[in-house]
Structure 1
Amino acid sequence: MFKKGLTVLLMLLAFSASAVPSDDIAHILSEQEAAWNRGDLDGYMQGYWNNEKMRFVSGKKFRYGWVETLAAYKKNYPDKATLGHLKFTIKDTKMLSNYAAIVVGRWELTRAKDKPNGVFTLLVEKIDDRWVITHDHTSD
Structure 2
Amino acid sequence: MVKNAWLMLVLLLVFPAQAVPTDEITKVITEQQDAWNRADLDAYMQGYWHNDKVRFVSGNKFRYGWEETLAAYKKNYPDKATLGTLKFTINEIKMLSNYAALVVGRWELTRAKDQPSGVFTLLVEKIDDKWVITHDHTSD
Scaled by the length of structure 2, the TM-score of the pair is 0.89
Which secondary structure does the structure 2 equivalent of 1:49 belong to?
coil
Which runs of 5 or more structure 2 residues have no equivalent in the other structure?
12-16
What is residue 64 of structure 2 aligned with on the other side? 64
What is residue 86 of structure 2 aligned with on the other side? 86
Which secondary structure does the structure 2 equivalent of 1:120 belong to?
strand
* Offset at residue 59 of structure 1 (A): 1.0
Which secondary structure does the structure 1 equivalent of 2:20 belong to?
helix
* Offset at residue 88 of structure 1 (A): 0.1
Pairing of 1:1-140 with structure 2 (within 5 A): 20-140=20-140
Pair member with larger Rg:
2
Distance of 1:28 and 1:45 partners within structure 2? 10
Distance of 2:136 and 2:127 partners within structure 1? 16
Q: Which runs of 4+ in 1 moved over 6 A?
A: none
Distance of 2:134 and 2:63 partners within structure 1? 12
| Identity value in percent | 77
The 3 A distance-change label for structure 1 pair 81 and 125 is same
More helix by share: 1
Scaled by the length of structure 1, the TM-score of the pair is 0.89
Which runs of 5 or more structure 1 residues have no equivalent in the other structure?
11-15
Question: For residue 35 of structure 1, what is the amino acid of its counterpart?
Answer: A
RMSD of equivalent CA atoms: 2.2
Question: For residue 118 of structure 1, what is the amino acid of its counterpart?
Answer: G
Question: For residue 32 of structure 1, what is the amino acid of its counterpart?
Answer: Q
